Amino acid sequence: MNMGLSKNSSEGFSILFEKLPSSDEQNVSVQSRRQNPEEDWDYVGQEGKLSVDIAETQDEIVVYATMAGASPDKIEVYIHNDLLTVRGERQRSEDRGADSLNSLKLIHQECYWGRFSRSIVLPTEVRGESARAEYTRGVLKIYIPKYTSNARLSVHVVEE
Please report the pLDDT score of residue 61 as a whole number: 97
Residue 113's domain is classified under what CATH number? 2.60.40.790
**Contact 89/115 with Cβ under 8 angstroms?**
yes
Q: Determine, yes or no, domain membership for 98.
A: no
Q: Determine, yes or no, domain membership for 150.
A: no
Whole-structure pTM over 0.75, yes or no?
no
Q: What length is written for the chain? A: 160
Residue-wise pLDDT for 121-156, tens only, equals 999 999 999 999 999 999 999 999 998 877 777 888
Number of domains the chain is built from: 1
| Residue 46: exposure state from Cβ atoms within 10 A (0-12, 13-18, ≥19) | exposed
Bigger pLDDT: 20 vs 96 = 96
Where in the sequence is the domain holding 8, given as residue range(s)? Answer: 3-34+44-92+108-145
Residue-wise pLDDT for 87-101, tens only, equals 999 887 765 555 555
